[in-house]
Amino acid sequence: MYGLCSSNSNWLAHHVALSCQPSWCVKIREMFDSVIRQQFRTNCPNADEGSDTMFFTWLDQTPVGRLFLAGDSDALRYLLFDGGSMTERHDVRLQEWEQNAEKLKEPVTQLNAYFSGRLQQFDFPVAGQGTDFQQRVWSALRDIPYGATASYGDIAKVIGQPTASRAVGMANGRNPISIIVPCHRVIGTSGKLVGYGGGLERKKSLLRLEGVAV
């Protein structure tokens, strides 16, 4: 059974609401809501349940173009490249979130230091929303040192699923916190720069910035 995250639970809740009549389904709906909340907490432990305000800002004039940052009072939850795929791949809700650069000052400061070559390791909290498998992949990515690379097969072995190279690649593509969770450091087994959500030119730029010959 697939885990229930926000989009699945909202869809299911809507259809239960339509199929129930108020005179007899109140208790059923209460039981359903309780199950959904538990499933949401279990399968999406890093997801925000709407109790905290989401803030966003933009970082312009970086070596890889304009960047979108979003997070709440606990952690940075998105760092994405500006472009059409930003909202297609991720649950970005600009109309519902508050634009506030001050709330994201620390990530912006550290990113500027990274791009200027003065910082190699970020130390602010991040919390991307994903499945258990995706979380394990993203955690392994953060262990790849600055200036180093690893293959999809290497990551698959690290997480204990050596035959899951393709699934690792898919998890990379769903990474909501680019650069900080450094999926740009993952390359093909042959050493080629294969696949990157932000485009291969951005991948090359980030690796060159870190001193990797590409």
Catalytic residue among 20, 25, 44, 183: 183
Question: Residue 140's CB: how many other CB atoms inside 10 A?
Answer: 21
Q: Is the CB of residue 166 less than 8 Å from the CB of residue 133?
A: no
Strand partners, 70: 56, 78
Q: 182 — alpha (psi -120 to 50), left (phi > 0) or beta?
A: beta
> Quick one: which of 150, 154, 157 has its CA closest to 212?
150
Q: Are strands 150-151 and 98-99 parallel, antiparallel or unpaired?
A: unpaired
Let me know if 13 is exposed, middle or buried by CB neighbors in 10 A (0-12, 13-18, 19+).
middle
How is residue 206 written in tokens?
């980030």
Question: Residue 101's CB: how many other CB atoms inside 10 A?
Answer: 13
Continuous H helices in 48-92: 85-89
Is 183 an active-site residue? yes
Strand partners, 186: 150
Q: Is the CB of residue 57 less than 8 Å from the CB of residue 109?
A: no
Residues known to be catalytic: 183
